[in-house]
Amino acid sequence: MHIGELVTNDGEGGAFAARPDAALVIAKGRVAWSGPASQAPAADSAVDAGGRAVLPGFVDSHAHLVFAGERSAEFAARMSGRPYQAGGILTTVAATRAATDDALRANLARLVAEMARQGTTTLECKSGYGLTVADEARGLALAAEVTPEVTYLGAHVVPPEFAGDPAGYVDLVCGPMLAACAPRARWIDVFCETGAFGADASTAILAAGREVGLGARIHANQLGPGPGIRVAAEAGAASADHCTYLTDADVDALTSARVVATLLPGAEFGTRHPYPDARRLLDAGVTVALATDCNPGSSFTSSMPFCIALAVRDMGMTTQEAVWAATAGGARALRRPDVGHLGVGARADLIMLDAPSHVYLAYRPGVPQIAAVWQAGRLVAGSIAP
Amino acid sequence: MHIGELVTNDGEGGAFAARPDAALVIAKGRVAWSGPASQAPAADSAVDAGGRAVLPGFVDSHAHLVFAGERSAEFAARMSGRPYQAGGILTTVAATRAATDDALRANLARLVAEMARQGTTTLECKSGYGLTVADEARGLALAAEVTPEVTYLGAHVVPPEFAGDPAGYVDLVCGPMLAACAPRARWIDVFCETGAFGADASTAILAAGREVGLGARIHANQLGPGPGIRVAAEAGAASADHCTYLTDADVDALTSARVVATLLPGAEFGTRHPYPDARRLLDAGVTVALATDCNPGSSFTSSMPFCIALAVRDMGMTTQEAVWAATAGGARALRRPDVGHLGVGARADLIMLDAPSHVYLAYRPGVPQIAAVWQAGRLVAGSIAP
């Protein structure tokens, strides 16, 4: 029962909060009580944390998990500066289209289980490697088997069969593909970037999604400055993701439109772009989330602890800010008040660390420290053994 | 039996070498045969790697594991730029002196087990948090319980009781402390740095160690330029560790004196110093090793995979060079021909990854991918389940 540090994120306005020497009571899959260990009420069964830290489960609000194949050779070539003739995202599109449902399902299940072992209890999952009506719908159906946070990303790139007619592809994304996909998704996303989709197309795609009830999110300003943040603010997007290259006007737009900035340091690690400046965003009052961007091209990490360590080392975040961003921040990016914190009534998604405090996630980078993981009060990974 | 990629490091002169679709035969704790899976001889029992990669176990040639206490608050303060009144190494010295043998042994055992789970099958372990005759001897006796690669580091810093008489402390390190420690150690090390020990003291300490049969290693050029590399070359040291700030003359000295440069990127991660330039060293023909520097102050990672990922991302190493440095490189830094490779006759220390190739250690940073670990042919961590 003795929790060395209980991170609850139920400070004023949902701010980071932690209590030493704490206990937590779970009933019906929800947090029923938390407080000093010395005042813990009786319970049917008890787990002794032995002084270890307990945190809300991680909320990974940006992941591309429905795919086939891998791109390790492309990664190795990029890292060593060798030229590599590869299709990038389109390599994965070809492999994904050719894969059976069962092959995609097995790869997805493997990644979801891997994420659970690393403390992720809520995850978002995008399509975007199908890029035909049938393949996008299939990707979303598979994603819906593992999470309610399903995102339609038909607008990932223009597929080769529309290379000469990108406007035609936007029409498909906003028309028949959207019609097939919307019933299976909660969110719509667009890769707004030079070489993918411009401001007008991105605006049209998010608007089409909104008309059929999908919330907006966006890949914005990843590889260079661009209009993505402005598009996100105008569309009322829940989150603008990447935010690597921002102008002062972009920062102002995120603040005033209350768009969450979801930072994905795994992508900068995997591409050697500069890390996004979280400090600047936090100082401007922007809500910051951290997520993995798990995908086989630019960021094949599934580790939220790794992202936290990078955020502290390279993005100007304190350990408290980084842990908050990886839990409550992700929850805000998904507009999910029930997760990302351990206030009374929250879903009992929690992590027990093999460590006495949340600081260790950055203090001990790369070390697996997730001892046990519960989802809605049920142990889903690890063990409670000391 | 089917190994997707078998990394053997038995190329010409012990260079990186790997074979696809391979098998490996172990007898009496040693590698008896390796070659194409199709030609594998019969064996008493067989493990099916299911296409996964098998590598030599990691050789972590630089670790400080005999200590008590922790310094997470100091770490958090350093990362956030806040001032923090702390004694650095001396904080750990005070906690270590005050700890019981059993407390030190339990902390050490926990770290060694954690390293094994992450694929480390040979580790070096230093004293250096005792700094009295009795406490240094105790640290080495504990280290010797877990590894033969025991290093006497009485010359870590000058302890407070010698603050006014650093020369007196050097006399102690070279005299009674060495006499008490030498029987328990294989190596002698010195922290040659401004604020620790200068060139003359470092030279004297390594020479005193050599006289009683201890091999030389050194902490050199970590926090700024200095004489450490020159001292290492003149002393015939097996390894110069850190090598963060090097002149061209330093690089030449490493090459001509055949001193291994052991790079410790966890320390740069934990202190925000620039990463050492492995590319420059490799291009000059220096033998490079990677190690964790696991210690509670500057680098509390125990993860060789994390160090490999940093080396590829931030130090200009290819994935092959980084994996070689973390295995064969570490073995050379410890002058251990029996480990770090899987040539016939090598100790059967091996790792099976949850991945098809060694590239994944950098391609999937932060993700625990060590499926199973064998030491001298015996499974010591993980499981062979697919």
Give the pLDDT of residue B1. 57
Count of beta carbons in the 10 Å neighbourhood of residue B228: 30
Give the H/E segment covering residue B372. strand B370-375
Query: Do the Cβ atoms of A241 and A156 come closer than 8 Å?
Result: no
Q: Residues A122-129: what's their mean pLDDT? A: 98
**Which residues of chain A lie closer than 8 angstroms to B117, CB-CB?**
368
Count of beta carbons in the 10 Å neighbourhood of residue A224: 10
- pTM, full prediction: 0.98
Q: Judge whether residue A144 has pLDDT over 80.
A: yes
For residue B33, give both structure tokens: 């045969």
Determine whether the interchain pair A306/B365 forms a contact, defined as Cβ–Cβ distance below 8 Å: yes
Give the pLDDT of residue A254. 98
Helices in chain B by DSSP H: which ranges?
Answer: 72-80, 89-98, 101-117, 133-144, 166-174, 176-181, 199-211, 228-235, 248-257, 265-271, 278-283, 304-314, 319-324, 330-333, 360-363
Q: Which of A72, A79, A300 sits opposite B357 (nearest CB)?
A: A72
Q: How confident is the model at residue A86 (pLDDT cuts 50, 70, 90)?
A: low
SS3 of A105, please? helix
Residue B365 sits at the chain A interface (C-beta within 8 Å): yes
The count of C-alpha atoms lying within 13 angstroms of the C-alpha of B306, restricted to the half-sphere facing its C-beta, is 31
Q: Nearest CA of chain A to the CA of B102: how many Å? A: 17
Query: Do the Cβ atoms of B159 and B170 come closer than 8 Å?
Result: no
Q: Nearest CA of chain A to the CA of B200: how many Å? A: 35
Q: Nearest CA of chain A to the CA of B362: how many Å? A: 8
Sign of the torsion formed by the C-alpha atoms of A266, A272, A273 and A278: positive
Which residue would you say has higher pLDDT here, B248 or A384? B248
- Residue A58 makes CB contacts below 8 A (sequence gap 6+) with A118, A119, A120, A121, A122, A304, A326, A327, A330, A351
Q: Nearest CA of chain A to the CA of B48: how many Å? A: 19
SS3 of A373, please? strand
- The DSSP secondary structure of A293-357, one letter per residue, reads -BBTTTB----HHHHHHHHHHHS---HHHHHHIIIIIHHHHTT-TTSSS-STTSB--EEEESSSS
Q: Judge whether residue A210 has pLDDT over 80.
A: yes
Among left, alpha and beta (phi > 0; psi -120 to 50; other), residue A110 is alpha
Determine whether the interchain pair A366/B114 forms a contact, defined as Cβ–Cβ distance below 8 Å: no
Give the pLDDT of residue B185. 98
Query: Do the Cβ atoms of A159 and A131 come closer than 8 Å?
Result: yes
SS3 of A221, please? coil
Q: Which of A75, A306, A360 sits opposite B363 (nearest CB)?
A: A75
- The DSSP secondary structure of B56-107, one letter per residue, reads EPEEE--B-----S--HHHHHHHHHT------THHHHHHHHHHS-HHHHHHH
Nearest to A357 by CA among A119, A53, A17, A16: A53
Nearest to B62 by CA among B222, B212, B251: B222
Q: Splitting chain B (386 residues) into consecutive groups of 10 residues, what average pLDDT does each group show?
A: 92 96 96 94 89 98 98 94 78 97 98 98 98 98 98 97 96 98 98 95 98 98 95 98 97 98 98 97 98 97 98 98 98 98 98 98 98 97 87
Chain A from 32 to 91: CB within 8 A of any B CB: 70, 72-73, 75-76, 79-80
Count of beta carbons in the 10 Å neighbourhood of residue A200: 12
Q: How confident is the model at residue A184 (pLDDT cuts 50, 70, 90)?
A: very high
Give the pLDDT of residue A88. 87
Amino acid (1-letter code) at residue A162: F
Give the pLDDT of residue B45. 87
Q: What are the b/e assignments for A30-44, b being 16+ CB within 10 Å?
A: bbbebeebeebeeee
By C-alpha distance, the chain B residue nearest A273 is B313
Determine whether the interchain pair B72/A114 forms a contact, defined as Cβ–Cβ distance below 8 Å: no
Chain B from 93 to 112: CB within 8 A of any A CB: none
For residue A37, give both structure tokens: 């260990």
Whether complex ipTM tops 0.90: yes
Give the pLDDT of residue A1. 57
Q: Rounded CA gap, A173 and A151, in Å?
A: 13
Range of weakest confidence among A84-88, A149-153, B141-145, B329-333: A84-88
- Residue A3 makes CB contacts below 8 A (sequence gap 6+) with A21, A22, A23, A24, A37, A49, A51, A52, A53, A54
**Which residues of chain B lie closer than 8 angstroms to A306, CB-CB?**
365-367
